[in-house]
Homo-oligomer: A and B are copies of this chain.
Amino acid sequence: MNDFVYHIPTKVYFGKDQLGNLGEELKQFGQRVLLVYGGGSIKRNGLYDRVMAELKQAGLDVFELSGVDPNPRVASVNKGAEICKREKIDVLLAVGGGSTIDATKFIGAAAYYDGDAWDLVIRKAPITNCLPIVTILTLAATGSEMDAGGVISNPETREKLVCGHPALLPRVSFLDPTNTYSVSAFQTACGSADIMSHIFEVYFTMDEDLYMLDCVMEGLLKTVIKYTPIAIKEPANYEARANLMWASSWAINGFVNGGKQKAWSCHPLEHELSAFYDITHGLGLAILTPRWMEYALNETTVSKFYQFGCNVFDMDKNMEPMLVAKKSIELLSEFFFKTIGLQSTLSEIGIDDTHFSEMARKACKGDVLAGFKPLKQQDIEKIYRMCL
Interface residues of A (CB under 8 A from B): 1-18, 208, 210-216, 218-220, 222-223, 226-227, 238-239, 242-243, 246-247, 250, 258-259
Nearest first, the 5 A-B pairs at minimum CB distance are A3-B15, A215-B219, A9-B9, A212-B223, A7-B11
CB within 8 Å for A220 and B227 given contacts A15-B2, A16-B3, A210-B246: no
In the assembled complex, how far is the CB of residue A111 from the closest CB belonging to chain B, in whole angstroms?
24
Q: Is the pair B243, A210 in contact by a Cβ cutoff of 8 Å?
A: yes
Q: Is the pair B5, A242 in contact by a Cβ cutoff of 8 Å?
A: no
Contact of A5 among B2, B11, B16, B246 (CB under 8 A): B11
A–B complex contacts, Cβ < 8 Å, 26 sampled: A1-B15, A1-B238, A3-B13, A3-B16, A3-B18, A4-B14, A5-B11, A5-B12, A5-B14, A6-B12, A6-B14, A7-B9, A7-B10, A7-B12, A9-B11, A14-B259, A208-B239, A210-B242, A211-B223, A212-B250, A213-B246, A215-B218, A215-B220, A215-B223, A216-B219, A219-B219
Task: Chain B residues near A16: list those with CB within 8 A.
Answer: 3
User: How many angstroms from the CA of A10 to the CA of B238 in the assembled complex?
Assistant: 30
User: How many angstroms from the CA of A8 to the CA of B3 in the assembled complex?
Assistant: 20
Q: Is the pair A259, B216 in contact by a Cβ cutoff of 8 Å?
A: no
CB within 8 Å for A15 and B7 given contacts A219-B219, A222-B215, A243-B211: no
Q: Is the pair B211, A227 in contact by a Cβ cutoff of 8 Å?
A: yes
Q: Is the pair A6, B15 in contact by a Cβ cutoff of 8 Å?
A: no
Q: CB-nearest residue of chain B relative to A223?
A: B212
CB within 8 Å for A258 and B246 given contacts A4-B15, A6-B11, A215-B220: yes
User: How many angstroms from the CA of A258 to the CA of B215 in the assembled complex?
Assistant: 18
Q: In the complex this chain forms, how many copies of it are found?
A: 2
Task: Chain B residues near A212: list those with CB within 8 A.
Answer: 219-220, 223, 243, 246-247, 250
User: How many angstroms from the CA of A179 to the CA of B154 in the assembled complex?
Assistant: 49
User: How many angstroms from the CA of A227 to the CA of B209 in the assembled complex?
Assistant: 14
Task: Chain B residues near A13: list those with CB within 8 A.
Answer: 3, 5
Q: CB-nearest residue of chain B relative to A224?
A: B212
User: How many angstroms from the CA of A16 to the CA of B259 in the assembled complex?
Assistant: 12
Task: Chain B residues near A223: list those with CB within 8 A.
Answer: 211-212, 215
In the assembled complex, how far is the CB of residue A270 from the closest CB belonging to chain B, in whole angstroms?
25
Q: CB-nearest residue of chain B relative to A208?
A: B239
Task: Chain B residues near A247: list those with CB within 8 A.
Answer: 212
Given contacts A1-B239, A4-B15, A5-B18, 20 further A-B contacts (CB under 8 A): A1-B15, A1-B242, A2-B15, A3-B17, A5-B13, A5-B14, A7-B9, A7-B10, A7-B11, A8-B8, A210-B242, A211-B243, A212-B220, A212-B243, A212-B247, A212-B250, A214-B219, A215-B216, A216-B219, A246-B258
